[in-house]
Amino acid sequence: MGVSRRNLLLGGLGLLLAGLVGRVGHQRLQSGPDGHNSYFNALQQALKDAGIVHRRLIIDRARMAANLQRLVERIRPQYHYRVVAKSLPSIELLDWVMRQADTRRLMLFNEPFLRQVAAELPHSDILLGKPLTAGAAHYFYQHFEATNGFDPDAQLQWLIDSPARLADYAALADSLQRPLQVSLEIDIGLHRGGVQDTGTAAEMLTRLREHPWLRFSGFMGYEAHIPKAPGGTGRNFDRAMARYNAFVQTAEAVLEQGVDELTLNTGGSTTYDLYPGADVRPNELSVGSALVQPTDFDLPTLAEHQPAAFIAAPLLKVIDGLQLPGAPGLGRLMGLWDRRYEQTFFIDGGYWKAVPESPASLTTNDLYGRSSNQEMLNGPADITLARDDFLFFRPTQSEVVLQDFGELLIYDSDTGSFPERWAPFPRR
């Protein structure tokens, strides 16, 4: 007890100091004094009207549509749009985005999703966003059913990151006796693997050209480091594109033909805005997360995107004040010092990759501890929410989080209803 009590006291002291230095959260208190703002009040009412009683993941369709429109208006006609499936992990969600954006291009990241997409979205043009083992590729050919029109020979590009993996896929193609389209993952500065230099790329392209079953389908060069790495966004962008161009020129030299008709993929949510108007070789951009705008994507390049995905958690208990086990008085002191600790809430679930969103003044309590079963949150005394209301959270990322709450509730804010419910991919 001694240690944990000491930890509690030290932690409490730390929180008090943080409050003293910054009066953390004071600004945020102004935005939602008594509970939810009108947007979240309406959303809460819609949940109650629809008889929702469990924690759920909500997608605001109008907001997502506005994000998508912003994206496609910005990048077209210079670039094609490829939808990143891991960040929008639901067949119906992908289908909606593909229809709205009029694109067949998808980026997928694992074999089970690949098989499901091939079966349920058979018109897709698929590029793998990471290299799968040749064993997983073999498994796909053994288990995928060719009854619905999806033709992997023409609609699927495997991703190859090294000469060794190219040899694996060459052996697979030989054993299957069927054509495999392969694109090369190139390292344009992210340093997450991929082909490092044009000499290696030239050897691989020569091998590809000579192989009876393998077909070169393009390059994938991801560059999420550009806005984050030291050196400045502009310089990092120019360097990455110089590397990309060198790989493209190598391909044109080895293959003795232009490759502009092939897949020249790059980009992501955090970088797509850098491309419009740039004189570069990539011809398509992959984007997923920016359509629902989780908090990790709150960046200047995405300033025009609105949050469109929220977790709604049923409020189980509302308790006056804050009580910390084994430290009588400390919770009260914290509440006196920082208004965010005046009241205590327990919700169904918690500890997600998400941050409290509404009421705006909510805070998690690291001192008490996080819980996936029944998490404590704190807020000022003037939050008037009651048992059976909902608290709202914003995911920090959409990948995986969207798969944790059963069917996605698609929210229509005009009618205050959920006209559709979309099944996420199973968690794997």
Query: Binding residue for ligand PLP (CB under 6 A) from 289, 344, 361, 378?
Result: 289
Question: Of 288, 314, 331, 350, which lies in the binding site for ligand PLP, with binding defined by CB under 6 A?
Answer: 288
Applying CB under 6 A, among 250, 286, 293, 343 the residue interacting with ligand PLP is 286
One-letter identity of residue 103: T
d(CA 70, CA 77): 13
Of these, 58, 64, 68, 84, which contacts ligand PLP (CB under 6 A)? 84
Least separation, in Å, of the C-beta of 12 and ligand PLP?
38
Q: Which two tokens stand for residue 260?
A: 């502009």
Q: Tell me which residue has tokens 């290696």.
A: 200
Q: Which stretch binds ligand PLP (CB under 6 A): 29-37, 195-203, 285-293, 374-382?
A: 285-293
Closest approach, Cβ 267 to ligand PLP, in A, equals: 6
Q: What is the x/- site pattern for ligand PLP, positions 166-205, by CB under 6 A?
A: ----------------------------------------
The sign one gets for the Cα dihedral 44, 46, 47, 51 is positive
Residue 307 interacts with ligand PLP (CB under 6 A)?
A: no
- The answer to whether 58 and 309 have CB atoms below 8 angstroms apart is yes
> Of residues 223-282, which lie at the interface with ligand PLP (CB under 6 A)?
268-269
> Would you count residue 94 as binding ligand PLP (CB under 6 A)?
no
Identity (one letter) of the amino acid at 173?
A
| 67-75, 248-256, 284-292, 309-317 -> range binding ligand PLP (CB under 6 A) | 284-292
Nearest approach, Cβ of 419 to ligand PLP (angstroms)? 25
The count of C-alpha atoms lying within 13 angstroms of the C-alpha of 258, restricted to the half-sphere facing its C-beta, is 3
Q: How many residues make contact with ligand PLP (CB under 6 A)?
A: 12
Contacts of 132 (CB under 8 A, 6+ apart): 110, 111, 158, 159
Please report how close the Cβ of residue 87 comes to ligand PLP at its closest, in angstroms.
3
> Which is closer to ligand PLP, CB of 150 or CB of 297?
297
Q: To the nearest whole angstrom, how small is the minimum distance from the Cβ of residue 367 to ligand PLP?
A: 33
| Token pair listed for 267 | 């980009």
Closest separation in Å from C-beta 111 to ligand PLP:
16
Single out the residue of 19, 129, 307, 350 in contact with ligand PLP (rule: CB under 6 A).
129
**C-beta separation of 383 from 360 below 8 A:** no
Pair 297, 71: CB distance under 8 Å: no
Site residues for ligand PLP, 15-74, by CB under 6 A, read none
Report the C-alpha gap between 312 and 394 in whole angstroms.
9
Q: Judged by CB under 6 A, which of 44, 67, 87, 365 binds ligand PLP?
A: 87
Contact of 356 with 378, CB cutoff 8 Å: no
Give the span between the Cα atoms of 398 and 404, in whole angstroms. 10
| Shortest distance, position 108 Cβ to ligand PLP, whole Å | 10
Q: What is the DSSP track for 127-167? A: EESSPPPHHHHHHHHHH--TTSS--HHHHEEEEE-SHHHHH
Rounded distance between C-alpha atoms, residue 111 and residue 415, angstroms: 38
Q: Which is nearer to ligand PLP, 187 or 357 (CB)?
A: 187
- CA Rg, the chain, in Å? 25
DSSP code at position 423: P
When the beta carbons of 5 and 130 are compared against ligand PLP, the nearer one is 130
Residues near ligand PLP, by CB under 6 A: 84, 87, 107, 129, 222, 268-269, 286-290
